[in-house]
Amino acid sequence: MDSREQIEDKILCGQPFRPIEDPDLYYEMMEAAEKCHDLNQLRPLQTAEKQAVMADLLGELGERLMVFLPFHVQYGSKIKVGDGVTFNRGTTVLDMAPVTFGNEVMVGPWCSFFAGNHALDPVERQYMVCTGGAITIQDHVWLGGNCTVTAGVTIGHGAVIGAGSVVTRDIPPMVLAAGNPCRVIRDIGPEDKLVGESWVPEWPSWITD
């Protein structure tokens, strides 16, 4: 039987492990489910309360979070969230391995992030043999609605992932990608600006005050 430390080492190294060998992992998952339940009972305008629960639930949380409920995690403690991140409704993050969201990431509705896999062999799967792989969503990434990101994937900064995509491999920075499996369609460049070079980006005063 592996110790908790041995299980965590195997997760980080991509080696097979069995989470059921450490009962604390089960209880941590149930505790996270309780916190998600409390979070998902809050009303839309209870912003401070949502921020407080998210800060307690996640491993790291930056400033200016916007989260639309429901929101679900597996453990929460392995999730790092940067500044200015938006989670639209229905986000699910199964953080068997670390999951990192950079700054100014936009996650569309009903997106899922799965940082673990079950075994393909049916007997191994029955006895909970798993593998894990870290997910990294770099700065300024936008994922359209109903995207799925699987274990071990990195999405490069500024990339846009089309709605309904299943991302099973790394996506380079500053590209438009879509499909199942997700593939690069083209680069994103200056010609994709909607309002031109003369526009000065700034937030309305009601947001910054």
Active site residue 140: no
**Res 117 pLDDT > 90:** yes
Report the mean per-residue pLDDT for the chain. 94
Among all chains, which residue has been given the structure tokens 């990608």? 177
What does each C-alpha distance from 135 to 19, 28, 207 come to in angstroms?
19, 20, 31
Rounded CA-CA distance 61/22 in Å is 27
**Res 198 pLDDT > 80:** no
3-state SS class at 190 = helix
Catalytic residue among 37, 118, 140, 157: 118
Q: What is the pTM of this model?
A: 0.94
- Domains contained in the chain, CATH given: 4-188 (2.160.10.10)
DSSP 8-state assignment for residue 89: T
CA angle 27, 35, 90 (to 5 degrees): 115
CB of 161 within 8 A of CB of 141? yes
Two tokens, residue 144: 């359209």
